[in-house]
Amino acid sequence: MKIILLAGGSSPEREISLRSGKAIYKALIELGHQVDLVDPALGKNQPNNVDDFFAPSLNKEKVSTKNYIDAFQLEMFKNCDLVFIILHGKWGEDGTVQSILDLMNVKYTGSGVLPNSICIDKSLTKVIVKHFGVTTPDWKLLSRNDKANLFSAVEEIGLPCIFKPNDQGSTIGFSLVQSFDEIENAFFEALKFSDYVLIEKYIKGRELTVSILGNEALPIIEVKPKHQLYDYECKYTKGMTEYICPAEVDEKIAKEIQQQALVAFNACKCEVFGRVDFILDEKNIPYFLEINTIPGMTDLSLVPMAAKAVGISFNELISKIIELSLK
């Protein structure tokens, strides 16, 4: 098949997107597909060779959301069979490129416009899953103009609490706040990446994640970071996190978490593949955190790890994503 691999982009998660893209490119070539690489943030100025494409240090000065429309006017989009989207975060995992491809009548991998635009909005996702009976930590959503309500919001949620941008991934702009002295810094750190800040009750417990492939919940992975939280460094640095797959969780609780993951995934109209994150508290109550509609696919990523636990190799996983997307 003629496949366009869409990677890079202009979100703060650009580097992770390129790492995911490099792994997927290798798999697509090994599977015998004809692959064109497109970084939408570079417009019509695409790198001439594969190594340059996947080097995040190159082309930095050219990266811009203004280039996206030019990129989608490239000739290769006129006769491709599928676009494999591996853009993380804004302008990729938020329905933007999906809506452009829908207008062009071009097929692409993963969820469509609506689920992507829902799931990038952490607060809206929590509203929806809570409606469907999935437990999630209490939260408040503040805009950058709501500074006057900042301390009262924290008092209502209670300390410790988590501050994070409402529409970012990879724990970018993320803070654990344990005292009132840390509140303003955490608020402004999150505002560097979004106009809205989610303040969420901190749940002490085990970090668990459920990968979804089609209509199936794959084995749960427990994430044990070296830091107190599973932050950016722990996510993307070898040796900074221990992964247990399948997680050592009571079978009844594991089935409940997998079921809640599927309820959340389906409630938000997600399709094909994704990842649903939870915290299991000290009383063995699972709390939903968020859905990743385009999760990482690097050598440290969780979806490939969960697939491997049920005998699905990385290349088979990529094939399955393509097959489900074309349906």
CATH at residue 322: 3.30.470.20
Residues 148 and 260 placed together within one structural domain of the fold: no
H or E stretch covering 209: strand 205-213
Is 323 annotated as catalytic?
no
Is 277 annotated as catalytic?
yes
**Residue 242 sits in which domain range?**
119-135+204-326
Residues 51 and 100 placed together within one structural domain of the fold: yes
Q: Scanning the structure block, which residue is given the tokens 């998660």? A: 13
Last residue of a domain, one of 201, 225, 242: 201
Is 170 annotated as catalytic?
yes
H or E stretch covering 84: strand 82-85
**Which residue of the set 236, 287, 301, 325 is catalytic?**
236
Helices (H), 91-219: 96-104, 113-119, 122-131, 150-157, 183-191
CATH at residue 47: 3.40.50.20
Is 233 annotated as catalytic?
no
Is 284 annotated as catalytic?
no
Q: Is residue 114 part of a domain?
A: no
Nearest Cα neighbor of 8 from 49, 64, 76 is 64
CA atoms within 13 A on the CB side of 168: 24
Residues 232 and 127 placed together within one structural domain of the fold: yes
Task: Say whether pTM exceeds 0.85.
Answer: yes
Residues 131 and 276 placed together within one structural domain of the fold: yes
Residues 150 and 266 placed together within one structural domain of the fold: no
CATH at residue 174: 3.30.1490.20
pLDDT tens, residue by residue, 102-112: 999 999 999 99
Average pLDDT along the chain, 327 residues, taken 10 residues at a time: 97 93 98 98 95 89 95 96 96 95 98 98 98 98 94 96 88 90 95 95 96 97 80 67 93 98 98 98 97 90 96 97 97
